Amino acid sequence: MTTVAVVGGGISGLTAAYRLRALLGPDARIVVLEESGRLGGKLRTVPIAGKPVDVGAEAFIVRRPEVTALLAELGLADQVEHPSRARPLIWADGSLHPLPAGTLMGIPANSEALVGLVDAATLARIDAEPATPLHWDRSADVSVAALVGSRFGEQVVRRSVDPLLGGVYSGLSDTAGVRATVPALAVALDGGATSLTDAVRRALPPPSDTPVFGTLRGGYGTLLDALRDASGAEFHDHTTGAGLRRERGRWSVDPVGPVDGVIVALPADRAAALLAEGAPAAAAQAARIPLASSVVVALAMPKTAALPQNSGILVATGEDLAAKAFTLSSRKWPHLADRDVTLARASFGRFGDAALLDADDEQLITLARADLATVTGVTDQPVDAYVQRWHGGLPQYRAGHGEVVAALEAEIAQVDGLEIAGAMLHGVGVPACVAAATTAATRLTERVAG
């Protein structure tokens, strides 16, 4: 009988287990090791005011096919909800502004997009940008801050780009590489764009009325349960995968013992630790990918709480606030607007700033309420609240990330019966994790079966 181990029970590990079942058939033994007491990793649905709310990832991009296809396979297509048409705001320079439209990750194609958000000198600089020759090295990578700052100035970086990057990566444009975090921009620049504004114009997707995001009515827990059940795998929670090594031509991982193949579906630092003995060169690459920690505070307030009619508020860097973003969940998601409470989420923590993870729940709830009051004026006492700390929540895709991943995957490819998946590779979003896990399961099956 074929035995394979999947180390890590997040969406990457669960997808890998589900795919392995389909590929290896009903007789294979598939063992999933999960260190914590629950499956899902950064996907977590908890009851707040008696109903399910996501306190990790809350959405997925529907313009990528992977999650939509997976939900259809699992019979969950009818569970998908889309956001309302409410738009987000940006808190910058002590006041609220509409999120600029028609930008690429906050990088504008013209000055008009940022009127009101940045000063007149910055607008004039954006207008003048096409006249200054652009030096773009097709063989290199730079941080988003270096590129945007050098062309448009600091205010565009801090007020328009950082809030968006902070939302996706818990990072800042200083630690975000252009090629991995704004790939369409890199393609336009490689393709000969003559200025940054020209590159953004080339890279912007055509306007479309179809929704960009989806979520699950009952939260991500619905998908986790379905994957667990459909995988027919053995799940071992409170179990740390360790001691990965090659023994007499087979892999062995504790506490499972000898196996025919292993998929490592872990955050970068934990993958590096697990691979250190059996695949040290791969481990060294994974160890180069840093992680940012964050905290989500979910608040349920009385139905009457007068939150603005916006989907969320992103916070510019350098503001006098601890929070980096708020999701006004009851405004963003029509299916949550029906509930008898008003839901909002405050997020804290950017790369290099994990101090808030040590604060206790009460302090974090107090901080979330204070910051929400500053930006919206809403002071309602929550009827329920939940604090979720995400230690090492998101990998940072720094300049040169693609090369690190290519080297990591090249090392793994040289080793028979070992594959890797997870948010550190080709995208932190759930669709990208599903794609990488599918690739890992397919490759492992080819090795194990062939």
Interface residues with ligand FAD (CB under 6 A) are: 7-13, 33-36, 41-43, 56-60, 240-241, 265-267, 270, 274, 294, 296, 390, 393-394, 422-423, 428-430, 433
Are 344 and 365 in contact by the 8 Å Cβ rule? The answer is no
Residue 354's alpha-carbon distances to 54, 324, 351, 389, 413, in angstroms, are: 22, 13, 7, 10, 34
Q: How far is the CB of 215 from ligand FAD (least distance, A)?
A: 8
Whether the CA torsion 160, 163, 167, 171 is positive or negative: it is positive
- Nearest to ligand FAD of 58, 141 (CB atom): 58
Q: How far is the CB of 200 from ligand FAD (least distance, A)?
A: 23
- Nearest to ligand FAD of 42, 332 (CB atom): 42
H/E element holding 276?
none
- Nearest to ligand FAD of 333, 390 (CB atom): 390
- Nearest to ligand FAD of 12, 122 (CB atom): 12
Coil, helix or strand for 31? Answer: strand
Give residues with Cβ within 8 angstroms of 404, minimum separation 6. 285, 288, 289
Q: How far is the CB of 119 from ligand FAD (least distance, A)?
A: 32
Q: How far is the CB of 174 from ligand FAD (least distance, A)?
A: 20
Are 6 and 28 in contact by the 8 Å Cβ rule? The answer is no
Q: How far is the CB of 275 from ligand FAD (least distance, A)?
A: 11
- Nearest to ligand FAD of 37, 206 (CB atom): 37
Residue 140's alpha-carbon distances to 110, 133, 134, 151, 402, in angstroms, are: 26, 18, 14, 18, 11
- Nearest to ligand FAD of 16, 156 (CB atom): 16
Whether the CA torsion 59, 63, 65, 71 is positive or negative: it is positive
Q: How far is the CB of 156 from ligand FAD (least distance, A)?
A: 24
**φ, ψ (nearest 5 deg) of residue 322:** -85, -35
